[in-house]
Structure 1
Amino acid sequence: MNKFTLLGKLTAHPGKREELVALLLEASNSLDPMEGCELYIINESVDDPDAIWVTELWRDAEAHADSLKNEEVLAVIQRARPLIAGVEPVRLRPVGGKGLGV
């Protein structure tokens, strides 16, 4: 299986989480037609008022890398940077389970 999963914890500057969530939701619309993006979910942390978790599932690592060259994606990243205090990415390789379509 070549699927690629990325879990990202984004820590917003205090009081900026809602603005960052709105921006990420806007960004998710640009991923709809994007080849290779199978899942993109924005999650708010229940325990941390500044934390957002993004769950991504891609056809493969190359599809994810290609998405980072997209003009719309790059524009959202530029707009999001001032809102983000920290990023903790976790790169994973799924091996099976419900919903993977394998």
Structure 2
Amino acid sequence: MTFANAGTLGVIPGKRDELVAHLTQRSDALTQIGCLAYEVGVNDDDPDTVFVVELWESAEAHQASLALPEVQASIAAARPLLSGSFGGFHFNVVGSPLHD
């Protein structure tokens, strides 16, 4: 069952673009472990927040990704850019009008 994770990352003022550049670096490791989509977004009305929507083959694939050395290194590199404010939710996808 497809697993969705959507969240917000609070960013230190002035560091949003740097975090976006970091989060959008190509990662073949994510695809290999089961990431179907990893979309990063911004809203100029909220300049200190980055939005992330992820789709995974399963909740287990998402959890396994967190143990990858590449992901651990990415988290460590991003941490100094974050304010510590996080939000979000996750759910199991049950259907879509875009495909069978």
Q: Between Structure 1 and Structure 2, how many residues are aligned?
A: 99
SS in 2 for 1:5: strand
Q: After TM superposition, which residue ranges in structure 1, 4 or more long, deviate above 3 angstroms?
A: 30-33
Within a 5 Å distance, the mapping from 1:1-102 to structure 2 comes to 2-26=1-25, 28-31=26-29, 33-85=31-83, 86-99=85-98, 102=100
Unaligned 5+ runs, structure 1: none
In structure 2, relative to structure 1, the CA distance for the partners of 1:45 and 1:31 (3 Å cut) is farther
Note the C-alpha offset of 1:31. Answer: 4.2
TM normalised by structure 1 equals: 0.87
Question: d(CA) in 2 for partners of 1:33 and 1:55?
Answer: 15
Question: When the two structures are superposed, what TM-score results if normalisation uses the length of structure 2?
Answer: 0.88
**Cα offset, 1:4, TM superposition:** 0.6
Query: CA offset at residue 29 of structure 1?
Result: 2.3
Give ranges in structure 2 of 5+ residues lacking alignment: none
Q: Distance in 1 between matches of 2:36 and 2:97?
A: 14
1:89 shift after superposition: 2.7
Could you tell me whether the CA contact under 8 Å between 1:30 and 1:73 is conserved in 2?
no
Determine what percentage of the aligned residue pairs are the same residue: 39
Residues 39-65 of structure 1 show CA distances to partners (whole Å, capped at 9, x for unaligned) of 110011232011111010001100000
Secondary structure in structure 2 of the residue aligned to 1:54: strand
